[in-house]
Amino acid sequence: MRGDITEQHVDAIVNAANSGLLGGGGVDGAIHSAAGPSLLAECKRVRRDEHPDGLPTGEAVATDAGELPCRFVIHTVGPQHHEHSDGGVDLLASCHRRSLEIADGLGVTTIAFPAISCGVYGWSVDDAAPVAVAAVREFAAAHSDSSIELVRFVLSNADALAAFEAACSALE
């Protein structure tokens, strides 16, 4: 769907974070801004206690959601396209898979994803969408007992929405 991920009334939203987890631009900045100062405090705790060197690319971690209308923010670090000969396809798929694994572990039933790694990380939405959709479908097929009932991709513009709709149609 086209929309603002910070306004989603789901159990968890996924943050396209940087490895420092302390906010940034794009989706990351919007989520931190909308969540308020408690999200930054949670991220500082995660950095101190769990990931002192930063969250590795392709991994994910959950925090409370602060003032957002969801219960959790699942932070994941997507690959920067230029750093990998294939753009980091496996790492981008891992972002989605690890986010879903963490969400399932928390008992999440509804989750919303942005277009991870698109924008400043250099992925075109046309290339990222099929990887994201395939990773979600593979997770669903392999985890029929998962608590997750709804996965929503929330895209900020019409081009991104069209790319994700095309990726969903191509895999049907």
> Which residue reads 């705790």 in tokens?
45
pLDDT at 85: 86
Of 63, 98, 62, nearest to 78 by C-alpha is 98
Mean pLDDT of 17-27: 93
Q: Which of the residues are catalytic?
A: 28
Lowest mean pLDDT among 2-11, 18-27, 141-150: 18-27
pLDDT, tens digit, 9 for 90 and up, residues 115-164: 999 988 989 999 999 999 999 999 999 999 999 999 999 999 999 999 99
- Read off φ and ψ for residue 101, nearest 5 degrees: -60, -45
Domains of the chain: 5-170 (3.40.220.10)
How far is Cα 9 from Cα 47, in angstroms, rounded to an integer?
A: 27
Are 42 and 63 in contact, with CB atoms under 8 Å apart? yes
**Model pTM?**
0.96
pLDDT at 160: 96
pLDDT, tens digit, 9 for 90 and up, residues 74-96: 999 999 988 988 879 999 999 99
CA 69 remoteness from chain centre:
16
